Amino acid sequence: MTNNRSWIPYLLILPSVAFLALLFIVPLLQTIWLAFSDNGVPSPANAQRMMADINFARSIKNTFLLTLAVVPVQLAIALVMGTMVAKVGRGRETILWVWTIPLGISDLAAGLVWLSILQNSGYFNSLLLGLGIIERQASWLSYQTPVALFFAIAVAEIWRGTAIVMVIIVAGLNQVPREFREAAEIFGAGAWTRFWRITLPLIRPALQSALILRTVLAFEVFAVVYALGGRNFPVLVGEAYNWQNQNQNYGVAAAYAVLIMIISLAATMIYLKAIKVDPERLP
């Protein structure tokens, strides 16, 4: 483009840069300051108070376990979905639409959906009764059944969060040229080999962004937990919420926020390192 109009792109990006500076960068710095200061002077008091909190260790453990349980399953289901739908001709659009429906569903709504299934007089217990597995209503979501509650939350998260992974994976698969797989097939590679040696390496960029997105979201888990288990299952964002809204202690809430950010950033870094995307080998 002509040089005498070089100010145009800056004019075009300026509003969004200003907006993100004011509402992303500034709050980011404010959070860090709030977390590490006390009455206007630098202090580790908030961090210490956070770590001394009775729910601190539990909320870290719960959040990590949930992420470790949920993200791999979501990726696996998404890959299965992507592989399946690639073999379908007619009806492909409809199938993909059905599978993307949870994309529009919030974590709060997902929690309420699974509450209707897993509550004491819900459909899950009815099914178990019908199969003769239980005789009375069993409870799955109380503080006395932490393992069942964990699985309930994990199932709700997998139900809701798989769609986004699937959409990114399918978008990635669509960009893999058919010739690659056909060539491998001609040279005698089986379906399993083709998947591991051809398809998976070629969709690395999609894998990377799906994993980053999903993992950061998994560390943010909150409303689905609250809808299913109330405060029986502490998670990091839930603790930040409680310190802010119930205890009105913005400092400790900010300390939790900083902790969540550090974990999210670390996870992103690990994915960027672990899944190398080589631009020259992309289709």
Partner 1 sequence: MSAQTTSKASPAGFVSSSRWLLWSGIAALCAWVMVPIYLVALGALGGRQGVYQWPKTGLPTGISLDPFILFLKTEGVLQSFLNSLGAAGITVALSILLGAPAGYALARYNFHGKDGYRLLVLLTRAFPLAILALPLTVSFIRLGLYDTIIGVGLIHTVLALPFAALVTQGIFMGVPRELEEAAWVFGCTRAQAFFKIVAPLALPGIVATAVFAFVISWNEVFAASVLTVRNRTLTAYLLTVLSESPMHYRFAGGLMLILPSVIFIFAVRRYLFAIWGISSK
Site for partner 1 in 37-76 (CB under 8 A): none
Out of 60, 122, 145, 195, name the contact with partner 1 by CB under 8 A: 122
Radius of gyration of the chain (CA): 23
Residues near partner 1 (CB under 8 A), total: 98
Task: Name the DSSP class of 244.
Answer: I
Alpha-carbon distance of 161 to 177, in angstroms, equals 28
Q: Are 206 and 168 in contact (CB under 8 A)?
A: yes
Minimum distance, C-beta of residue 11 to partner 1, in the bound complex (Å): 8
Of the candidate residues 73, 96, 189, 198, the single one contacting partner 1 (CB under 8 A) = 96
Dump the DSSP string for 83-119.
HHHHT--TTHHHHHHHHHGGGG--HHHHHHHHHHHHS
3-class SS of residue 77: helix
CB of 150 to partner 1, least distance (A): 19
CB 232 within 8 A of CB 140: no
SS3 216: helix
Instruction: Give the shortest CB-182-to-partner 1 separation in angstroms.
Output: 15
The verdict on 125 binding partner 1 (CB under 8 A) reads yes
Tell me if 212 contacts partner 1 by CB under 8 A.
yes
Candidates 40, 130, 132, 190; binder of partner 1 (CB under 8 A) is 130
Q: Which of residues 164-203 bind partner 1 (CB under 8 A)?
A: 167-168, 170-172, 174-175
In the complex, what is the shortest distance from the CB of residue 202 to partner 1, in angstroms, rounded to a whole number?
Answer: 14
Distances (CA, A) of 131 to 116, 123, 135: 19, 12, 10
Instruction: Pick out residues in 245-274 that bind partner 1 (CB under 8 A).
Output: 245, 250, 253-254, 257, 260-261, 264-265, 268
Task: Determine, following the binding rule CB under 8 A, whether residue 36 of this chain makes contact with partner 1.
Answer: no
Specify the DSSP class assigned to residue 23: I
